Chains A and B, each alone.
Chain A
């Protein structure tokens, strides 16, 4: 199936597969009898920053959750390099205010049994949050919280960092700082980074490869190539121009207000770039799969 290869191909040197940290292939995720995500292939190499972008409901978090093993896809497989250590930074924590917990204690929980041996101070300094070490966890500001969550992921000594919307709840300059920090961490530690984001401009500078999702892989590759890709422009044209509230694109489906996929009259064109042979529409191909 040609469309299934498109996710990887672009921008990745062929035959360079020895350093793949994690790879999803032939993934199909069905929820409520509906196919919500199809990914032919998506992977992260060592030392590479891969960013998943796409509108709400595109399946970014679903793909990440499947790769982390938090969600069992109906079909497909996830391969991890043996012994892969993952540092995960969730979008938010479900931690209740009822639990008295300092930042230091929260971080000490990163590696069970090694609470004392972890260099919490150094990692907090690395993410620029050494001030909050003794503070109650629940009193952190949005930006501090993100840095502390990043510190927890780093404390695991990860080969792969998985960051789900790391800049959420952070102001604009804070976001730029955060992405710069993520780039620095990659340079320093040489770990792979899988990033979920919808802040287009900021994230591009710190990214080696972009995977543009909209319930399937629309296009993928180096940011400069992807941003000139018709599929990318179709998805993000208006959003990239600053109209964040509303986006609109020609596609083989539309979206309900909550981001779920709604059927669209056929023949409207897709998000696929023109030179590549068009595959079958990804949704209609697998009715009621699961």
Chain B
């Protein structure tokens, strides 16, 4: 196997291992649209990062945090449904990102890479960055697990029982911003949410506990990466979309297999 495939596999699996458990929370808390908003914000982050002379990763994470803060603040107003707010912030970030990108005068990776990712060009440095950030997010998630789960069951009940729900939610959004920034390079901003949501949804019928679902989701995500890269190599298809197609195959299996076993 070629070196670049090994790097892509390791990087992709590193992301899948952490995006799986986070994706489970995204589905429990009905935050799929929020994932999209963060992904759109990533485009703005890349462009602003370039213009400000900082790295794309730093730009994406900073914009992700800003979006999380804006949404938390706006939701307190309660004058708009939260999906309306998300749509406004999401498309505002996308439009502003495209405008800012045009100001960079042909910035290196180009729009196509940003939209669809470029997992096959991952360097060993990228893999190490993913491993480091992924481990950090995983440790933070372990500490947040209990209050986050309580808030996912019911925010008000959690608040009455003493969980600092607002802080926990913001911390979760911050972790999500980091993971979106990592995953964006692999599958691109259009498909980031798929990597969060589909593995978690695929294993839902098989899971009996929240922890089980999170763990299985990490495995399903890794299998999607491996299957997608194999398909990409075998059929010469783009890697990012192939990974999402592989995840969809797992989702279909997850829906069919339990029904088959029950007979």
Q: Are A100 and B208 interface neighbours, CB within 8 A?
A: yes
* Residue in chain A with minimal CB distance to B207: A100
Q: Are B28 and A96 interface neighbours, CB within 8 A?
A: yes
Q: Are B213 and A93 interface neighbours, CB within 8 A?
A: no
Interface: A70 (CB within 8 A)? yes
Min distance, Cβ A245 to any Cβ of chain B, angstroms = 30
Given contacts A88-B157, A90-B154, A95-B154, contact A100 B212 (CB under 8 A): yes
CA distance A162 to B154 in the complex (A): 16
A contacts, CB < 8 Å to B: 68-70, 86, 88, 90, 93-96, 98-102, 105-106, 109-110, 112-113, 152, 156, 162
Q: What are 23 inter-chain pairs, A to B, with CB distance below 8 A?
A: A68-B159, A68-B160, A69-B159, A88-B157, A90-B154, A90-B156, A90-B157, A93-B153, A95-B152, A95-B153, A96-B28, A98-B28, A98-B200, A98-B201, A105-B209, A105-B210, A109-B149, A109-B150, A110-B161, A112-B150, A112-B163, A152-B157, A156-B161
Q: Residue-by-residue, is B15-33 near A (CB-CB < 8 Å gives 1, otherwise 0)?
A: 0000000000001111000
Interface: B204 (CB within 8 A)? yes
Cβ–Cβ < 8 Å partners of A90 in chain B: 154, 156-157
Scan residues 129-188 of chain B and give those whose CB is less than 8 A from a CB of chain A: 146-147, 149-150, 152-157, 159-161, 163
Interface of A is mostly: loop
Top 9 A-B residue pairs of the complex, sorted by shortest distance between their CB atoms: A88-B160, A100-B207, A99-B28, A98-B27, A93-B154, A95-B153, A68-B160, A94-B154, A98-B28
Cβ–Cβ < 8 Å partners of B28 in chain A: 96, 98-99
Given contacts A109-B153, A112-B146, contact A100 B204 (CB under 8 A): yes
Q: Are A96 and B161 interface neighbours, CB within 8 A?
A: no
Cβ–Cβ < 8 Å partners of B149 in chain A: 109
* Residue in chain A with minimal CB distance to B163: A112
* Residue in chain A with minimal CB distance to B204: A98
Cβ–Cβ < 8 Å partners of B147 in chain A: 112
Cβ–Cβ < 8 Å partners of B213 in chain A: 99-100
CA distance A105 to B209 in the complex (A): 8
CA distance A227 to B240 in the complex (A): 69
CA distance A88 to B150 in the complex (A): 14
Scan residues 102-146 of chain B and give those whose CB is less than 8 A from a CB of chain A: 146
Instruction: Name, among A94, A98, A152, the residue most crowded by chain B CB atoms within 10 Å (CB to CB).
Output: A98
Min distance, Cβ A156 to any Cβ of chain B, angstroms = 7
Given contacts A109-B149, A109-B150, contact A96 B160 (CB under 8 A): no
Q: Are A100 and B154 interface neighbours, CB within 8 A?
A: no
* Residue in chain B with minimal CB distance to A91: B156
Instruction: Name, among B156, B163, B204, B208, the residue most crowded by chain A CB atoms within 10 Å (CB to CB).
Output: B156
Min distance, Cβ B106 to any Cβ of chain A, angstroms = 43
Q: Are A94 and B204 interface neighbours, CB within 8 A?
A: no
Min distance, Cβ B223 to any Cβ of chain A, angstroms = 20
Q: Are B160 and A70 interface neighbours, CB within 8 A?
A: yes
CA distance A216 to B200 in the complex (A): 48
Cβ–Cβ < 8 Å partners of A105 in chain B: 209-210
CA distance A99 to B208 in the complex (A): 9
* Residue in chain B with minimal CB distance to A98: B27
* Residue in chain B with minimal CB distance to A65: B156
